[in-house]
Structure 1
Amino acid sequence: MTSARHDRGDSWHGELLDLDAYLERLGHTGERAPTLACLRALHRAHTTSIPFENVSAVLGVPLPLDVESVQDKLVRRARGGYCYEHVTLFAAALEKLGFRFTAHTGRVSLGADKILPATHALLTVTPSDDDRTWLCDVGFGGGPLEPVELADGAEAEADGWRFRVERRPDAQGFEHWWLHQYGAGGWLDRHTFTLTPQYPIDYEVGSHFVGTHPRSPFVKRLIAQRFSAARHHQIDGLTWSTTLPDGTRTEQKIEPEDLQRVLREEFGIDLDPEVVSRLKARSDAP
């Protein structure tokens, strides 16, 4: 009799994912194979179908990262999540489809002149029909629409959204990769990461900090994002901004009584009135 495989902690538990339900959530009806074409289609569908939101963290609700909990929230209940939830779900799907990939942790920079904590989740993936490695960043909330080749100087453009990857050593000579995004002010470094493998337990540690630490911005106010080929919507507190692929940005204040409608109609996040009331109280606080 063959014994069950011992879980060393390096599995993303794709066997627990309801793949049909996940692909239906994405609207993906194409091939189910570990190819580059499938990876591109899944990446685009995931980033444009499942919104980014931190409602649970703001309200102090636990954020478990096991596959069953994540798919219940993001797939069955049609909610959104932040990067650790998105990447846990995407990794489970890639594993079930037979892709070879590695999880990583990045540091969001956005032009900052200091080192920020490593609290962003992302993947590098090698399809079965392509020798190149591709950066998949489905959990940032603002694209890219499709994977970006992991090669120094590689640029990618999809529907006007432009990204560039760079590799450079730090002061000690360690290799770091950078993802840049093009906007109204030119190229802006978005985050940096190394190729050190990360595992589910590492994401649990990072998620605990992001979702509970008093200095984390994700526990202080509502942050929601909806990304598409045409535009990037973002709510920060009660400020709603819209950015176009060329970097053009508009901003407006959301009246508290309109928050539930805006979240539902513009972001695809349908919340109970009581939850929205608690969010408004937190988002409007100084």
Structure 2
Amino acid sequence: MIDLAAYFDRIGYDGPSEASAQVLRDLHALHIASIVFEDIDVQLDRGIDIAPAAVDAKLIAARRGGYCYEQNGLFKRVLEALGFEVEGLLGRVKWMLPAEPARGRTHMALRVIIDGQAWLTDVGFGSALPNPIRFDIDTPQKTAHEDYRMISVDRERRLEALIAGTWEPVYQLSLEPQLDVDYVQPNWFSSTHPTSNFRQNLIIARTTPTTRYNLLNNRLTIREAGGEAEKRVLNAAELAQAARDLFGLPVEADWTPVFERAAARE
């Protein structure tokens, strides 16, 4: 079950409640602008509980953010409550990583079927997909920010983004629908294993229709759609301020060690 009224209030949505492509686009855009991507609980060794009640308490009631299993798990339940046909998928992250060695499948994304057409929607990736795109066509598709495309690779579908004239791989998805239980092990790995990117780095990200805000440890990047990036290195106090003012997080006193560690990074 999901409290749709509470979720709509959380993201500022007051439109129709129907299973249409336009509603999917509207919800996707408002979600990634309102519920930020963040791994602060991983950095605090709190672990990540992806049970629906825990996710709703954190992302809706406490106005926190989260990572893919929390974000897309919540979004999947919202869409299902509205009557959408939704499948959870699992994929290998490729973004900013060498081709070898291959990484395990640790990213959750969603495939939504509307009037017989498949759409990729993903509100749980740091450099967020700005809006849903067609899952089953190979041609470039425009979004509020970069162009994206889906291509077939080894009987899977790979999402790519056009960055400075080059198609860069984002992640590669298995076509097999996943059950909720299939995300328990990759969530455990992502939140606890020392080689997990989320154990090693503070990551906070928010995407609006006009601007991307990305924080990696102490490096803040603000990029307007189609514009140049503004980059700054922040100290611990500035990190806390950015978390509050740019990302809308309810900063807690015990987050201070996370900001101090991030500020000390080279």
Report the TM-score, using the length of structure 2 for normalisation: 0.94
Matched, 1:36 2:36: no
Structure 2 letter corresponding to 1:113: A
Question: What secondary structure is seen at the aligned counterpart in 2 of 1:267?
Answer: coil
Kindly tell me: are residues 270 and 113 of structure 1, through their superposed partners in 2, closer, same or farther at Cα, counting changes over 3 Å?
same
The corresponding residue for 2:119 is 134
Q: Distance in 1 between matches of 2:27 and 2:88?
A: 17
Once the two structures are TM-superposed, the CA of residue 210 in structure 1 deviates from its matched residue by: 0.3
Identify the match of residue 170 of structure 2 among 170, 174, 190.
Answer: 190
- More divergent stretch after superposition (218-227 vs 241-250): 241-250
Q: TM-score, normalised by structure 1?
A: 0.87
Deviation at 1:216, TM superposition (A): 0.8
Match of 2:130 in 1: 145
**Partner Cα distance (1:222, 1:78) in 2:** 19
Per-residue Cα deviation, 1:165-188 (whole angstroms, up to 9, x for no partner): 11132xxxxx01011112225221
112-121 or 210-219, which deviates more: 112-121
Partner of 1:58: 43
The change in CA–CA distance for 1:249 and 1:186 in structure 2 (over 3 A counts) is farther
The question of 1:279 aligning with 2:264 is answered no
Q: Which amino acid aligns with 1:121?
A: M
Other structure's SS at 1:156 match? coil
In the alignment, does 2:103 pair up with 1:116? yes
d(CA) in 1 for partners of 2:64 and 2:249?
A: 6
Displacement of 1:202 after TM fit? 1.2
Whether the aligned pair in 1 keeps the contact of 2:218 and 2:265 (CA below 8 Å) is no
What is the alpha-carbon distance in structure 2 between the residues aligned to residue 167 and residue 249 of structure 1? 31
Shift of 1:231: 1.7
Which position in structure 2 is the counterpart of 1:100?
Answer: 85
Which string of whole-angstrom CA distances, capped at 9 and with x for unpartnered residues, describes residues 207-259 of structure 1? 10000001112012311001111121111111111233337333210021222
Runs of 4+ in 1 over 6 A off after TM superposition: none
Q: Structure 1 stretch 230-239 or stretch 68-77: which is displaced more?
A: 230-239
Please state whether the residue corresponding to 2:141 is helix, strand or coil: strand
Judged with a 3 Å threshold, the aligned counterparts in structure 2 of structure 1 residues 262 and 160 are, in CA distance, closer, same or farther, namely closer
- Which moved further from structure 2: 197-206 or 148-157? 148-157
Is 1:245–2:245 an aligned residue pair?
Answer: no
Based on CA coordinates, which of the two structures has the bigger radius of gyration? Answer: 1
The aligned amino acid for 2:112 is V
Percent of aligned pairs with the same residue? 29
The total of aligned residue pairs comes to 263
The root-mean-square deviation of aligned C-alpha atoms, in Å, is 1.6
Pair 1:209-2:195 in alignment: no
Query: Residue type of the partner of 1:117?
Result: G
Amino acid at match of 1:269: L
Match of 1:10 in 2: none
Question: What SS does structure 1 have at the residue aligned with 2:58?
Answer: helix
Moved more, 75-84 or 177-186: 177-186
What does 1:60-79 align with in structure 2 at a 5 Å threshold?
60-79=45-64
Distance 1:269 1:161 in 2: 26
The alignment partner of 2:126 has SS state of coil
